[in-house]
Amino acid sequence: MKMRLLNVISLVLMTFTLAGCGKGIDIAFITDMGTVYDGSFNQGTYEGVLKYTEETGKTCKVYEPDGVTSDEYLKNIKQAVKDGAEVVVCPGYLFEETIYKAQNKYPKVEFILVDGQPHNADGSDYTVEDNTMPIVFSEEQAGFLAGYAAVRDGNTELGFMGGTNQDSVIRFGYGFVQGADYAAIEMGTNVSIRYCYANTFLESDDVKSMTSAWYKGGTQVIFACGGAMGKSVFAAAEENGGKAIGVDIDQSSVSETIITSAKKELGNAVYQGLANYYDGTFTGGTLYEMDAANAGVGLEMDNARFTSFTREEYDTVFARLVSGGIVPYRATDYGNTSDLELVSTEVYYMELKRNEE
């Protein structure tokens, strides 16, 4: 009996070692910064990997780099390959230069880059090799839906706090502005939006302080678009009776102040990429775009906390995006809304005030 018990314990330990220590792993997941369970981008992407491994029995190991540099990312990719990874999943634009290098250095490894395009250091070459699948999203559409819903729900004083002024965040922000303006025109009202970039995707006392001041100054709802940085906005909302909009995944469980989230179907995109690899239909070398038409972006409605905005209104405006009846402006420069041709919305740009050390 004792020998049988020891054999069972040994078997459990062997299984744990395989999954936990990465020996003979199939899939590697490398976070861009912070932890995998960040309640936002890393987590939303990883959930797709987790779903696939649970359904298929494939093994996966999570790697959390010590720093946010290309060298640190490459070090983790090297370790993942050494551990036996066939597929490496990397979430976010911070991996763009890294994957540009890694796709050539490890030609027998498949890379799934979520929300980014491989490119060299000066941005002059965006070559995607056959072993790489970059997936990008139409953030301007998700942002448009968030702005539209916020105004249709009765809010006219809005805020946008972005992580950094990089492309995907800018698209979220200006989509938000355009959606708010579209709804304002429909309703015959005027909207004002306080607009700022925090220059961080991490929690920040400065972000909490600034957004608290916004709420106290009349802002009703703030779109928090920047990973874990959003937790600082949600904390400010909780303390000041404000409302917030989450990003990337359904963040309704993070705070009761969150009325909806502008979602990218991160998990579904990664799940499909992994399925394609293992069923032999993986086609790298091509940029995959996820938008409203292929259900790649949208608003969280099942767990929404709107006062008056309805599912019927949402379905109607979503259908217009799918059909091309509404086409939010996609490419614009930071700090310039002149191309957006706003009619009923004023945007006020602000710099984040940082507390002295």
Task: Read off the pLDDT band of 346 (50, 70, 90).
Answer: very high
Distance CA 78, CA 82 (A): 6
Tokens of 346: 């004023």
Whether the per-residue pLDDT at 352 is higher than 80: the answer is yes
Whether the per-residue pLDDT at 116 is higher than 60: the answer is yes
**In terms of C-beta distances under 8 Å and separation of at least 24 residues, what long-range contacts does 165-171 make, across chains too?**
165/197, 165/334, 166/93, 167/93, 168/93, 168/115, 168/136, 168/137, 168/139, 169/139, 169/197, 169/225, 169/226, 170/332, 170/334, 171/138, 171/139, 171/140, 171/143, 171/330
pLDDT in tens, 41-73: 889 899 999 999 999 999 999 999 999 899 999
Whether the per-residue pLDDT at 30 is higher than 50: the answer is yes
Task: Read off the pLDDT band of 332 (50, 70, 90).
Answer: confident
User: Taken in order 140, 38, 71, 61, is the CA torsion positive or negative?
Assistant: negative
pLDDT reported for residue 19: 40
Distance CA 143, CA 262 (A): 6
CB 193 within 8 A of CB 177: yes
CB 117 within 8 A of CB 126: yes
Distance CA 152, CA 174 (A): 17
Fold matches, 2-137 and 139-263+297-351: yes
Across 250-273, average pLDDT: 95
Query: What residue segments make up the domains of the chain, in order of their start?
Result: 2-137, 139-263+297-351
CA angle, 289 as apex, 287 and 292 as ends, to 5°? 175
Identify the CATH homologous superfamily for domain 139-263+297-351: Response regulator (3.40.50.2300)
Which of 202 and 4 is assigned the larger pLDDT?
Answer: 202
Whether the per-residue pLDDT at 5 is higher than 60: the answer is no
Whether the per-residue pLDDT at 106 is higher than 70: the answer is yes
Tokens of 33: 């910064």
Whether the per-residue pLDDT at 35 is higher than 90: the answer is no
Whether the per-residue pLDDT at 4 is higher than 60: the answer is no
Which of 8 and 224 is assigned the larger pLDDT?
Answer: 224
pLDDT reported for residue 356: 53
Across 169-181, average pLDDT: 96
CB atoms within 10 A of CB 335: 11
pLDDT reported for residue 24: 79
Nearest to 116 by CA among 289, 261, 272, 294: 289
Distance CA 94, CA 249 (A): 19
Q: Which amino acid is at 217?
A: G
Whether the per-residue pLDDT at 18 is higher than 80: the answer is no
Which of 24 and 127 is assigned the larger pLDDT?
Answer: 127
Sheet holding 110-114, edge to edge: 60-63, 27-30, 87-91, 110-114, 132-137, 288-290
Distance CA 185, CA 203 (A): 35
Distance CA 56, CA 77 (A): 23
Whether the per-residue pLDDT at 152 is higher than 80: the answer is yes
| Cα Rg of the chain (Å, integer) | 22
Which of 65-69, 133-137, 138-142 is least confident?
65-69
User: Taken in order 195, 196, 197, 202, is the CA torsion positive or negative?
Assistant: negative
Give the architecture (CATH level 2) of 2-137: 3-Layer(aba) Sandwich (3.40)
Residue 304, SS3 per DSSP: coil
Whole-number mean pLDDT of the chain?
91
Task: Read off the pLDDT band of 16 (50, 70, 90).
Answer: very low
Whether the per-residue pLDDT at 8 is higher than 50: the answer is no
pLDDT in tens, 280-309: 998 899 999 999 999 999 999 999 999 999
CB 230 within 8 A of CB 247: yes
CB 233 within 8 A of CB 258: no
Whether the per-residue pLDDT at 249 is higher than 80: the answer is yes
Whether the per-residue pLDDT at 9 is higher than 90: the answer is no
Distance CA 117, CA 153 (A): 36
Which of 6-15, 59-68, 80-89, 262-271 is least confident?
6-15
Which of 167 and 155 is assigned the larger pLDDT?
Answer: 155
pLDDT reported for residue 118: 96
Distance CA 18, CA 36 (A): 19
Tokens of 3: 């020998």
Measured over all CA atoms, what is the biggest interatomic distance in the chain, rounded to whole angstroms?
79
pLDDT reported for residue 306: 99
